[in-house]
Structure 1
Amino acid sequence: MTSTRPEPQLTDETITRFLGGLWKLNRRLKQGVEPRLAQQQIDLRRYFMLVTIRKGTVYPKELSEQLGIPSTLLSRYIDGLVQLGYIERNIDVQDSRRTVLSLTEAGLDAVTRATQSIREHTSQRLKELDPKQLPALLDALDILGAAGLEQENR
């Protein structure tokens, strides 16, 4: 199926502005969010791991695929979260060859507190947008984040 939307004018200046805007926004958000996450002894990657597990992605392989973290690196992050007492590894009762990840009470508390803190900080940035712009921005991020994912996973 081909799109009927006109193609955007992708000049070097447009691409540089786009990438520069993403880079600046990412840096500013990280500068505000990371100190808040450090209070829970986690960083953004570990935060997204906890959130993703809480939402039901409980197998390391699926977590690796969903977050785009190589499995060798993911294993180290999981080890760290287990040592913090934020997650547990258990044998899958359906298939003893698989490991299931679950949040502990401490992990749930950490992700809840981190989410509240991130919400407070991030909402200040998002309030700069007209309320009608936010859904379009989120849709665009979803589209751009998923673009080419099928080819990458082959």
Structure 2
Amino acid sequence: MTTAPPGFELPLRLFLGFRVIVDGLHAELARQGHPDLRPMHGFVLQAIGPEGTTAVELGRRLGVSKQAAGKTVDTLEQLGYVERGSDPRDARRKIVRLTERGADSLARSARIFDELRAGWAETLGEERLRALEADLRAVTPVDLFRLDVPGWFGGY
């Protein structure tokens, strides 16, 4: 009979798996022309979404203050991933939108994530990987896209 590993190992292994995938993503994004993107930026670009959003709404989605969200938007704007503009429905409101470069980085990320998953399937076997994914679905909330990770980590 084998002894179960200590309880703290499970969250660390899950986090390390996350890191392996995200680090692989960013290494490939850098090779494909997006060397300045950081893991936090992906959460921000997803939270902005295809329709754009305000800094207040962006902060709420990310679980951070409007000021923290605004600071990251400033960085992404300098890097060419987002732009600020007026809301066509209310000129007093400023909307943050993805630029073509921002949308390109998200499209590339989706393809790279698929490639990384394929690498895991090659290592573990497709059946085992699907079982792992099913098991993780069984123990995690249904809401797949939790964008508030920056705030949860105490980020910004």
Are 2:22 and 1:30 aligned? yes
Checking the alignment, whether the CA contact within 8 Å between 1:36 and 1:118 is kept in structure 2 is no
Letter in 2 for 1:65: R
Structure 1 residue 68 and structure 2 residue 58: aligned?
no
- Is 1:88–1:103's contact at 8 Å kept on the other side of the alignment? yes
> Does residue 1:141 correspond to 2:140, yes or no?
yes
Distance change >3 Å, CA 126–CA 77, structure 1 → 2: farther
CA distance in 1, matches of 2:121, 2:62: 23
Partner of 1:85: 80
In the alignment, structure 1 residue 119 sits paired with structure 2 residue 127: no
Residues 82 and 99, structure 2, Cα contact 8 Å, conserved in 1: yes
User: What is the TM-score normalised by the length of structure 1?
Assistant: 0.68
**RMSD (CA atoms):** 3.1
Identify the match of residue 59 of structure 1 among 54, 60, 67: 54
Cα deviation, residue 66, structure 1:
1.8
The answer on whether the counterparts of 1:37 and 1:114 sit within 8 Å (CA) in structure 2 is: yes
- TM-score normalised to the size of structure 2? 0.67
1:82 aligns to what SS in structure 2? helix
Identity of aligned residues (%): 24
Gaps of 5+ in 2: 1-5, 147-151
Inter-CA distance 142–25: structure 2 relative to 1 (3 Å threshold): same
Q: How many residues align?
A: 136
Query: Equivalents in 2 of 1:20, 1:54: separation in Å?
Result: 30
Unaligned runs of 5+ in 1: 1-12, 147-151
Secondary structure of 1:98's counterpart equals: strand
SS of the residue 1:97 aligns to: strand
